[in-house]
Amino acid sequence: MPVIKLLCTTLGKTLGFFTVLVVFIAATLNYFEDSETVKYTSMAEDIKTLEENFRQQNKSCFILGASGETGKVLLQELLERNIFSKITLIGRRQLTFEGKTYENLVQEVVDFEKLDDYAAAFQGHDVGYCCLGTTRAKAGAEGFIRVDHDYVLKSAELAKAGGCTQFHLESSRGANKKSGFLYLKVKGQVEADIEALGFDRFAIYRPGVLLVDRQESRPAEWMARKFFSTVSAVGFRSMAVPIQEVAKAMVSNTVLQPEQKTEILENKDIATLGKSAGK
């Protein structure tokens, strides 16, 4: 009997601890929930109608970072919804595709260290999508800054000079040029620098943890994604978002009419817009 009593007591304490832990995590996530940062005045309109109207304008676009996780899904979404008459992929290498779906794609291979020599690749596009990026672990601090800031900004400058009026940038939740964290500081700085270029429309997407099965994945990253996937499923939409919803949101937002030239879509905004596109 004493043993059973001891087990019951231990079990009770353990359950109590986990209960407190869950409540604490829930309260913390609730605190960090994004406020409603973007008002979609056009959300009530028929997305299909807006897409058809946009399609009739015969616009063209380019994608930077089409070989990355978000870029690949974004390309698929653009091809499926067929709102552009021409899609150009700009990257450091030629990508291989199979099937008639991809036969009309245009690919421009550039050297990001000498982008001025490839200014022609950025000319004649109406809309630009940038999903270009690396990590400090892969490229080191200097390499990360060069890719996520220098390459991205220079590409935006050339696109603007080439006639691009609408630029969509995949950034990160928490981006802030005054941040003490290198990753968030660089993301925030490139946001500010591109905004200063004066595009007719500049859309910034700040997703949280991207829910995707990466080809290159460490055990810790896999566990983190599983955790945030569960958290997102129970209603906390500020922390994570499926990568498909990011791509859908970027495409849907392209045809919507913004209230201002620069707009920032936080994780919750992305999830809302991404889900609406799938209805």
Please tell me which residue in 59, 177, 183, 275 is annotated as part of the active site.
183
Find out whether 241 and 211 touch, Cβ atoms under 8 Å: yes
Report the 10 Å Cβ neighbour count for 197.
15
Fold category of 58-277 in CATH: Rossmann fold (3.40.50)
CA distance 198 to 93: 29
Domain boundaries, the chain: 1-57, 58-277
CA distance 155 to 164: 11
Separate counts of helices (H) and strands (E) for the chain? 9, 9
Instruction: List helix spans (H) across the chain.
Output: 2-31, 47-55, 69-81, 136-145, 152-161, 182-195, 219-233, 243-255, 267-277
Does the active-site annotation cover 183? yes
113 Cβ contact partners less than 8 Å away, ≥ 6 residues apart: none
Please tell me which residue in 72, 160, 187, 248 is annotated as part of the active site.
187
Q: What is the pLDDT along the chain (279 residues), one digit of tens a residue?
A: 454 555 445 545 554 454 444 334 444 444 445 555 555 544 545 888 999 999 999 999 999 999 999 999 999 999 999 999 999 999 999 999 998 999 899 999 999 999 999 999 999 999 999 999 999 999 999 999 999 999 999 999 999 999 999 999 999 999 999 999 999 999 999 999 999 999 999 999 999 999 986 554 444 444 444 444 444 444 445 579 999 999 999 999 999 988 899 999 999 999 999 988 765
